């Protein structure tokens, strides 16, 4: 089976909902890290002349980036609207190839989490991370609260649409996780695996039934526990399979 690139984007301006979401995602990040060998990749990587320092398995982001910050138009489903708002605000814009453009900012605050998602096969070391980092820019409301993936350096930062590459592992589970986030905390969340919002209609029906029976707060916690439990089942199964066939 071929691999699939999962992409997601959205806007969450509510600080309370955003804080709750990050608390939940920290639980998932630490669980994922518990399966990883700290500081190591599951498989060997090609030796380069210059080795970049390894990234931490979990990165809690709370920083201000200044100078050379480019916000890609792929963070929204309506790039033409984002560009129009940017030009109205007097922000410079430049082409970035593949039909994308960059809105250039002098400064932006970023808060959120970026973590490596455990895969015992280590197939995609360059695209195996989940990013839920939010732009905080109240002076530019058209990008405030939007999800991004942070790349580049302090001098040249790129903020773009988060993505994750998977193959025969955690694919259905990502639908479950994103459905949970969209239903309980971030109604603007959009994702595409093979289809847009894949699996959401089915999961929404389950969440609604549990919410009706148990109430909103209890349903939110109980269903996230199920998301965590399902992740553990997949991780344990594939770790065993990799060890068995090694």
| Residue 216 domain boundaries | 4-47+57-245
Would residue 86 count as lying in a domain?
yes
Burial 229-245 (b: 16+ CB within 10 A, else e): eebeebbeebbeeeeee
> Cα(142)–Cα(146) distance, rounded to whole angstroms?
9
Q: What is the pLDDT of residue 3?
A: 94
CB 133 within 8 A of CB 148: yes
The token duo for 62 is 């709370």
74 in a domain, yes or no? yes
What residues does 7 pair with on adjacent strands? 163, 192
| Inside any domain, residue 52 | no
Task: Please indicate, yes or no, if residue 175 is contained in any of the structural domains.
Answer: yes
pTM of the model: 0.92
Write the secondary structure of the chain as one string of H (helix), E (strand) and C (coil). CCCEEEEEECECCCHHHHHHHHHHHHHHHHHHHHHCCCCCCCCCCCCCCCCCCCCCCEEEEEEEEEEEEEEEHHHCCCHHHHHHHHHHCCCCEEEEECCEEEEEEEEEEEEEEEEECCCCCCCCCCCCEEEEEEEECCCCCCCCCEEEEEEECCCCEEEECCEEEECCCCHHHHHHHHHHHHHHCCCCCEEECCCECCCHHHHHHHHHHHHHHHCHHHHHHHHHHHHHHHHHHHHHHHHHHHHHHC
User: What pLDDT does residue 67 have?
Assistant: 87
For the chain (246 residues), the mean pLDDT of every run of 10, in chain order, is 93 94 98 76 40 83 94 97 97 92 96 97 94 96 97 88 97 98 98 97 98 96 98 95 86
Q: Is residue 140 assigned to a domain? A: yes
Under 8 Å between Cβ of 158 and 70: yes
Angstrom distances, CA of residue 24 to CA of 131, 162, 181: 14, 18, 10
Q: How many domains does the chain have?
A: 1
């Amino acid at each position: 089976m071929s691999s699939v690139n999962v992409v997601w984007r959205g806007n969450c301006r509510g600080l309370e909902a955003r804080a709750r979401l990050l608390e939940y995602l920290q639980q998932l990040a630490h669980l994922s890290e518990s399966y990883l060998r700290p500081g190591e990749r599951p498989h060997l990587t090609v030796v380069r002349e210059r080795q970049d320092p390894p990234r931490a398995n979990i990165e809690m982001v709370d920083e201000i980036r200044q100078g050379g910050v480019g916000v890609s138009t792929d963070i929204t489903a309506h790039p033409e609207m984002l560009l129009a708002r940017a030009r109205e605000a007097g922000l410079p814009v430049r082409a970035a190839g593949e039909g994308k453009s960059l809105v250039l900012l002098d400064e932006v605050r970023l808060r959120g989490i970026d973590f490596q998602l455990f895969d015992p096969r280590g197939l995609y070391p360059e695209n195996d991370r989940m990013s839920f980092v939010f732009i905080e820019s109240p002076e530019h409301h058209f990008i405030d609260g939007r999800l991004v993936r942070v790349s580049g350096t302090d001098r040249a930062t790129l903020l773009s649409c988060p993505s994750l590459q998977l193959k025969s592992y955690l694919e259905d589970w990502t639908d479950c996780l994103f459905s949970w986030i969209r239903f309980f905390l971030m109604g603007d969340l959009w994702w595409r695996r093979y289809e847009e919002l894949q699996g959401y209609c089915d999961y929404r029906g389950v969440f609604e039934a549990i919410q009706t029976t148990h109430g909103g707060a209890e349903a939110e916690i109980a269903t996230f526990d199920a998301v965590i439990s399902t992740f553990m089942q997949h991780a344990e199964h594939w770790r065993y399979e990799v060890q068995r066939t090694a």
